[in-house]
Amino acid sequence: MSEAHHGSLQLRVKRIEAVTPEINRYTFSAADGSWLPPFSGGSHIRVLIPFEGETRRNAYSLMSSPYDTSEYQIAVRRVDEGKRGSIAMHRDVREGDVLSATIPANLFPVSKHARHHVFIAGGVGVTPIYAQLDELSLKGSSFELHLAVRGPEHAALGHELRERYGERVVLYGDGDGTRLNSYEILGGLPLGTHAYVCGPSRMVDDVIRAAHTHGWTDSHIHFERFEDLGSTGDPFSVTLARSGAVVEVSPEQSLLEAVEEAGHKLPYLCRGGACGECETEVLELEGTIDHRDDWLSESDRCTNKLIMPCVSRATCTKLVLNA
Amino acid sequence: MLITGIKSRPIYDELAPMATGTSHVAAAQGSGGEPLVRLLGAMIPGQLAATTVLYSIESFTGKNYLADLRNFAVRELVVFPNNADAVRGLDAFLATAKMGTRLYLSGSEGFIGTSMQVATSYGMNRDEVLREHAGSFVRRVWCAHCSHYSENVSRRIFRCPGCERNLIVRDHYSGRLAAFQGVKADGEVPGELPENEELDT
């Protein structure tokens, strides 16, 4: 199997398909021809995209089957505003190129105990659901998918899933004037149902609100926002106390990524601020920590004695870690 | 309330209305009627009208709260002659229940545990269920040798009705089996039984 070096894999671009006017699908295989690390439905990788002398680190959900690790597939929607990593993916990346990417991490897994799964997505938000449905259909689980698109020319991925799963996939905005209504979708569902939403923040908030209105508890509501992943912000520098090394963290990378790039190791698992594995002691701080994780308690945060390097940053003149 | 040094034993709650729920089902047994009466008393009329009560009159201590329970204007009150029937009644209710349902359980540990097995099989999570222990602290015990379940065990050593072995009741509760583990008491030296104390139940 392909091994990660400093947390990253070498992926060769095997195939590029334009699936909508804005979305390309990229199929990768391991650059050394071996098997890629396995993943579960809902996982993402972060692709290191060379862009005008810098590196963009964009998170993309894996949409290929979790049961075939000879390749990974992602879909990239070209976004003209923002940091424009997706423009480089569309404009510069060619079949045969080799890109670095992080190993898969899953912050959006399916619930193993659900009696029924309801997926709600907008546009390219359908990508993690591709892999999740692969997983569920093989197990024979009960599911339905509601996908909103901006018009028939943007519906290709939805049509592909309809081909595979038939009536269980409902498309909205595919030229027939229908609109996705999360309140209606989530009403009257059997006990033990789980809902998953992936899309813009507005859609995620709307689904959470609708579920709460129907009396759902949070343990049945799962979501992934487009803008959630990754750690970007102002640059800062960090000192690793054990080696004395000083590492510069650039605006486009996380503290963990910068430390790895400099050839040092920190423990990690999820790389998304959820699992707690990378928790690191702060020995000295002149400034403030920008805690972005879901792991530390409010009281832990206030003491500023701990930091989660996979997502959190600092605005500081001095930061020394026990690492 | 049960407070012991047994780490595997569930931590029980106090019953109180879960305001975010849209439908409620409360199942209780014997002394569990007391927390149930308190729960219903704390509910507003709209919640009571959306509440189904399942009550078993089987009781180890002989307490019966049926008369008090009849004072509330709930959606439905169903009475069962024994705990096993009440658990089956809960199963039938949950089979057609919708998301938004909240479950309240009170009574003996065995009743709460077996009811939780049913709730779990319908995919209910801990944030949809409150459990309050009431009444006797007798244990439900699973025999590690013949898989027989014994209800209402109150002493450290007892004879398993399934396989006739003398079992020692360990302080090890399994949420999955909803029972304490019982193992052969004289496994090391045949005939040599440990002290048969009253359980710290």
Comparing CB atoms, the residue among B21, B22, B99 nearest residue A220 is B99
| N- to C-terminal Cα separation, chain B | 10
Mean pLDDT, rounded, for A290-306:
89
Chain B residues lying within 8 Å of A188, measured CB to CB: 98
Residue A114 sits at the chain B interface (C-beta within 8 Å): yes
Measure the CA–CA gap between A317 and A305, rounded to whole angstroms.
Answer: 16
Contact A191 B21 (CB under 8 A): no
For residue B95, what is the enclosing H or E element? helix B83-95
User: Residue with structure tokens 């569930």?
Assistant: B10
How confident is the prediction for chain A on average, in pLDDT? 92
Closest residue by Cα to residue B141 from B128, B129, B154, B130: B154
Q: Return the top range by mean pLDDT from A57-66, A199-208, B91-100, B128-137.
A: B91-100
State how far residue A177 is from chain B, nearest Cα, in angstroms.
29
Reported residue count of chain B is: 201
Question: Is a pLDDT exceeding 60 seen at residue B153?
Answer: yes
CA B86, distance to chain mean position in Å, is: 11
Task: Tell which wins on pLDDT, A63 or B137.
Answer: A63
Contact B127 A113 (CB under 8 A): no
- A126: phi then psi, degrees, rounded to nearest 5: -75, -15
Question: Is a pLDDT exceeding 90 seen at residue A84?
Answer: no
SS3 A96: coil
Cβ atoms of residues A161 and A147 within 8 Å: yes
Question: What's the complex ipTM?
Answer: 0.87
Cβ atoms of residues A253 and A271 within 8 Å: no
Contact B123 A217 (CB under 8 A): no
User: Residue with structure tokens 């009536």?
Assistant: A167
Residue A297 sits at the chain B interface (C-beta within 8 Å): no
Q: What are the DSSP calls for A21-74, one per residue? A: SSEEEEEEEETTSSPPPP--TTEEEEEEEEETTEEEEEEEE--S-TT-TT-EEE
Measure the CA–CA gap between B26 and B47, rounded to whole angstroms.
Answer: 12
State how far residue A214 is from chain B, nearest Cα, in angstroms.
6
Contact A190 B23 (CB under 8 A): no
Question: Is a pLDDT exceeding 50 seen at residue B3?
Answer: no
> What is the tens place of the pLDDT at every residue in A257-274?
899 889 898 988 777 788
- What per-residue confidence (pLDDT) applies to A67? 94
Q: Which residue type sits at A200?
A: P
Cβ neighbours of residue A112 closer than 8 Å, sequence gap 6 or more: none
SS3 A6: coil
Single pTM value for the model: 0.84
**Whole-number percent of chain B with pLDDT over 90:** 80
- What per-residue confidence (pLDDT) applies to A37? 95
CB count within 10 Å of CB A306 equals 20
Question: Is a pLDDT exceeding 50 seen at residue B141?
Answer: yes
Question: Is a pLDDT exceeding 50 seen at residue A150?
Answer: yes
Which of the four pLDDT bands, split at 50, 70 and 90, describes residue A3?
low
Mean pLDDT, rounded, for A14-42:
96
How confident is the prediction for chain B on average, in pLDDT? 93
State how far residue B110 is from chain A, nearest Cα, in angstroms.
23
Residue A190 sits at the chain B interface (C-beta within 8 Å): yes
Cβ atoms of residues B142 and B182 within 8 Å: yes
Cβ atoms of residues A310 and A230 within 8 Å: no
Measure the CA–CA gap between B38 and B52, rounded to whole angstroms.
Answer: 15
State how far residue A194 is from chain B, nearest Cα, in angstroms.
9
Cβ neighbours of residue A262 closer than 8 Å, sequence gap 6 or more: A245, A247
β-strands A193-199, A169-172 pairing: unpaired
Tokens coding A234: 């102002």
- What per-residue confidence (pLDDT) applies to A200? 87
Tokens coding A145: 């998918």
> What is the tens place of the pLDDT at every residue in A111-127?
998 999 999 999 999 99
- What per-residue confidence (pLDDT) applies to B5? 67
- What per-residue confidence (pLDDT) applies to B1? 32
- What per-residue confidence (pLDDT) applies to B2? 41
